[in-house]
């Protein structure tokens, strides 16, 4: 009997060790949270950022690149915090003008095996250059397709930016991309949303779920098992720059929108992220 009791006690201890119980702001029993999209390369105070994230219950961060400089920095973050920061490398549609694009693409491909995704890539037709010059939009599409093909060739998912270009972003992903695509901070038309969901893809929620009409409409329409949560740090929301600890804002806003308990939203969103990034 004593041996059996000891075995049970060990099993309970292992269970408690393997999951984090967070009590913050009245939220109890949250399991592991994953910030699936953060530009850690643009944040300072590495130890402080990670400490505050862990205190908030964030147990992993997917750090994305945007150009050669940020891709290099992203890899440094992942090296500094192995098993906590997971790198994704890519060229953002508005961040390549000062890069040697072929060299950056080569760098990404050479380091992709150690990454969980290609990103942040995509299209941005609302950028100043895209609005002024048709050639810029064509260059964006070419760069996007090259990175979609890279993701497909390496069996990696893609994290896609599509501001003002959601239709083209989806159509090109269908033609050239991998079978796993997340349309980051989706705020586009609901008919395009329906098509991307039918294609098996995901969208992500940011702290803008607190106030953005179009973002909230998309999140209300998409089923919870097709949504990731993120901060897009260090983007500012109502003038306050975000960091991964602010993932709780996204969680609370999404839970309110879905009329679900925060614990359940955290559980489902985290499982979605683990399956999508295979971490």
User: How do the domains of the chain map onto residue ranges?
Assistant: 31-277
Rounded (5°) CA angle 179-182-187: 135
- H or E segment and range at residue 64: strand 58-64
Strands (DSSP E) found in 167-277 = 181-183, 202-205, 227-229, 236-237, 240-241
Given a cut of 50, whether residue 165 has pLDDT beyond it is yes
Here the contacts of 193-197 (C-beta below 8 Å, separation 24 or greater) are 193/218, 193/221, 193/222, 194/221, 195/170, 196/170, 197/222, 197/223, 197/226
> Helix, strand, coil: what percent of the chain each, to 5?
55, 15, 30
86-132 pLDDT, tens digit each: 999 999 999 887 889 999 999 999 999 999 999 999 999 988 787 78
Are the beta carbons of 127 and 151 closer than 8 angstroms?
no
134-159 pLDDT, tens digit each: 887 899 999 999 999 999 999 999 99
Query: Which tokens hold the place of 127?
Result: 């950028």
Rounded (5°) CA angle 20-24-30: 35
HSE-CB for 55 with a 13 A CA cutoff: 10
CATH assignment of 31-277, among 3.40.30.10, 3.40.50.300, 3.40.50.970, 3.20.20.140: 3.20.20.140
Identify the pLDDT of residue 10: 33
User: In whole angstroms, what is the distance from residue 212 CA to residue 219 CA?
Assistant: 10
199-214 pLDDT, tens digit each: 999 999 999 999 999 9
Identify the pLDDT of residue 193: 98
Given a cut of 60, whether residue 12 has pLDDT beyond it is no
User: Strand 117-122 vs strand 240-241: parallel, antiparallel, or unpaired?
Assistant: unpaired
CA-nearest of 193, 190, 196 to 172 is 196
Higher pLDDT, 32 or 18: 32
Q: Which residues contact 151 (CB under 8 A, 6 or more apart)?
A: 117, 118, 157, 158, 177, 178
Query: Which tokens hold the place of 13?
Result: 């201890």
Are the beta carbons of 228 and 272 closer than 8 angstroms?
yes
């Amino acid at each position: 009997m004593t041996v059996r009791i000891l075995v049970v006690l060990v099993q309970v201890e292992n269970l408690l060790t393997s999951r984090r119980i967070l009590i913050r702001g009245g939220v109890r029993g949250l399991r592991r949270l994953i910030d699936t999209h953060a530009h850690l390369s643009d944040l300072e105070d590495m130890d402080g950022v990670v400490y505050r994230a862990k205190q908030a219950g964030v147990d992993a961060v997917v750090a994305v690149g945007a150009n050669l400089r940020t891709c290099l920095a992203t890899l440094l973050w992942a090296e500094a915090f192995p098993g906590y920061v997971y790198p994704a490398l890519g060229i953002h549609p508005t961040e390549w003008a000062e890069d040697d694009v072929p060299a950056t693409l080569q760098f990404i491909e050479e380091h992709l095996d150690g990454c969980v995704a290609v990103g942040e890539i995509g299209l941005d037709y609302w950028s100043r250059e895209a609005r002024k010059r048709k050639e810029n939009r064509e260059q964006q599409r070419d760069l996007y397709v090259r990175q979609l093909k890279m993701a497909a060739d390496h069996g990696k998912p893609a994290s896609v930016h599509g501001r003002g270009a959601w239709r083209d972003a989806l159509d090109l992903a269908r033609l050239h991309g991998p079978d796993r695509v997340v349309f980051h901070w989706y705020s586009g038309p609901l008919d395009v949303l329906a098509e991307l969901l039918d294609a098996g893809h995901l969208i992500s929620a940011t702290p803008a779920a607190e106030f953005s009409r179009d973002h909230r409409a998309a999140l209300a329409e998409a089923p919870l098992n097709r949504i990731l949560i993120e901060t897009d740090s260090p983007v500012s929301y109502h003038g306050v720059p975000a960091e991964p600890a602010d993932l709780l804002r996204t969680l609370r806003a999404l839970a309110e929108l879905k009329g679900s308990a925060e614990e359940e939203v955290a559980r489902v969103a985290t499982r979605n992220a683990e399956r999508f990034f295979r971490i």
